[in-house]
Structures are given as C-alpha cells and as structure tokens.
Amino acid sequence: MTYIHPSAIVEKGAELGSGVRIGPFCYVKGDVVLGDDVELISHVTILDGTRLGAGCQVYPNAVLGGAPQNYKHKGGRTTLEVGSGCVIRESVTMHCGTDTSRGKTTVGNNCLFMAQSHVAHDCSVGDNVTMANNSALSGHVDIANNVIISGYAAVHQFVRVGHHAFLGGFAAVVGDVIPYGMAVGDRATLRGLNVVGMKRSGMSHSKVMEIRKAYKMLFDPARTLAETIPVVREAFADSPEVLDIVNFLAVREKRQFTVPPRRGHTGTDEDDGGEE
C-alpha cells in the first residue's frame, strides 16, 4: 500500500508506484514519477522533472531535481532520471539537465550517495557508484560503473572517470581518469591502479598484473601517449581490460586533459594502497 504522511505535500499529477512511502514534511511536485517501493523518509523535496526508480531510499533534507546552476539554461523543461535501488543520504542535491545542452541528468542503479554529496546538471553517473560525504560533480561529468569517489573530492566539468576508478579524499580532479585508475591529490595525479577494487570485483591476480604492465607501458615517461597507445593496443590485443583503457584514452577530445601519473611514478610502488 502507498502511504503518504498527513504533513507531506504531493501535488496533483505526481505518479506514485506501488508501495511508495512518503514521510513527514516531504514535498513532491506534480511532474514527478516515483517507482515502486520508493521511500522518502522525511523533509525530502522532489522537484519537477525527477524520476526515481524502484526501491530508492531518500533521507532527510535531500533536494532532487533542482534547476541547473548554469547561466546557459533558458528555463525549459529538463529532467533528472535516477535508476533503481539507489540510497540517497542526508542533504544530497541533484540537478536536472540544461535545456541548451544534454537536457537531462542521469544516475544508474544501486548507487550510494552519502551525506551532502552533489550531482550537477547534465551529468551521467553509471551503476554501483559510491559518492562519499561532501563529494561533488560539476556539470557535464561522465562517471562510469563501479567508481568510488571519496569524501570532499571534486570533479571538474566535462571530465570523464572510467569504470572501477578510485578518487581519493579531497582530490581535485581536473582531467579524465582512466578505467581502474587511482587519482589522488590537488591537482589529482594517478598513483597507479585501484588494485583493491579490481580484486574485490573478482579480477584474477594474473589479470591485475597484466593491466599493471600495460599501465607502465602507456605512461612511459620517455614517450607521449600518442606514441604508446598504438604500441599497447597491439601488445595487448587479446585483453579486453587493457583495450578498455586504450580506447578510453584514444577517444579524448582535443580540449580534454588526462590525469597523468605523478612525476617519476610508473605505478610500481603505491598501487596496493588504494582503499574503497
């Protein structure tokens, strides 16, 4: 049974799935869709254009579907689309897209957004992503599956973060982070690979070592990425994991910057320090 607390306001036109629970002092606008078994615990604001998938749980003071903080937005209808099974903790904010750009912000399934984290306009967030307390994504950021973003980390607009990457606490990420990469610091540099995350995902030791070898070849300080990419592509043609990294680097736009390894570091002495 759907339950709406007497103190909550749900505007006419809102679509509520089976088993939705809306707690005290929540506010749900009319152009909102809440999937089955969504729970708004209390004091949650869901604004126009927001879609929450089944089983999402939203904690107090979260505001979802706010207008984009973008001067280029002309006031047109845009959306925020959140997948199923997401946990959105206290005071999280997520904004809709911009009507002069992508037009929507999307979040995948089974993500965890810890207290006061922020997802800006026109972002694309994959499945099984964790954003820790006070971390933030600027506009137009692409976060792939299984990424972990530590507390207070901030990601610059238009940056891409590859799958299974790890961003350390307080990291200021101003460039693209390769799949499996571990980016730490201000401005963030690569400190090797997220070996802990790779192992937890079920990756074999031999596969981890293969990717580490490819990483060292890619970021050979004596050569440019333009020189190493074709070499690594040929040497690891039978490794889908390595090719993921190579292809990620190969599709960079000219204005995009890839987070490099720390000067003089080739990923041989700190890889196993990555925590999740």
Catalytic residue positions, numbered: 121-122, 139
CA 124/CA 41 separation, integer angstroms = 25
Taking the CB of residue 217, how many other CB atoms lie within 10 A of it?
17
Strand ranges inside 185-227, DSSP E: 189-193
CA distance 249 to 258: 8
CA 247, 253, 254, 260 dihedral sign is negative
Q: Who's near 83: CB < 8 A, 6+ residues apart? A: 53, 107, 108, 109, 110, 111, 127
Query: Residue 70 in contact with residue 121, Cβ under 8 Å?
Result: yes
